[in-house]
Amino acid sequence: MSYLDLDDARKQHAALLEIIIHNAGGWSDRASLGRIVEICRAARSAIDDLECKELIGLITQYAADLFSEQAHRKWDRGSMSGADFLRLEIVRVLHSFNHRLAEIEATRRGGEQSDLGRKGPDSSAPKG
């Protein structure tokens, strides 16, 4: 069985990952930031789960700094630029988001299996 909300959330996940992979950040890139904000809004609407919404909120916050003129610099870590650090953080959060979607799907599938188990293979056959 397919879950439309999970499919939609995974589509948004893939779109976000694509942007982060192909855009280094570290400068004021309003187009990329606008696209990320739009996709994050769609992802939040796609799935009704508090943990997913919190993760998407983190992505929005990190992206605002990543695609800014200066804010990414506060994330500098030794020899790693703030932009690189933020990109890694966003990928990490996307991984957590994807993992949460898998948990939700497993829970739903488990519930379906429980329903089937209670009905049993011969539940419609007359007893007698």
Q: How many domains does the chain have?
A: 1
CB atoms within 10 A of CB 31: 9
Give the mean model confidence (pLDDT) for residues 26-47: 98
Region of residue 49 (phi > 0: left; psi between -120 and 50: alpha; otherwise: beta): beta
Asked if residue 125 belongs to a domain, the reply is: no
Asked if residue 126 belongs to a domain, the reply is: no
Q: How confident is the model at residue 112 (pLDDT cuts 50, 70, 90)?
A: confident
- Residue 119, both tokens: 């009905």
| Global confidence as pTM | 0.85
Asked if residue 92 belongs to a domain, the reply is: yes
Asked if residues 5 and 42 have their Cβ atoms less than 8 Å apart, the reply is no
Asked if residue 124 belongs to a domain, the reply is: no
Asked if residue 114 belongs to a domain, the reply is: yes
At 128 the pLDDT is 47
Instruction: Name the residue range of residue 109's domain.
Output: 4-118
Asked if residue 56 belongs to a domain, the reply is: yes
pLDDT of residue 121 exceeding 70, the answer is no
At 111 the pLDDT is 81
Asked if residue 48 belongs to a domain, the reply is: yes
- Residue 50, both tokens: 């508090």
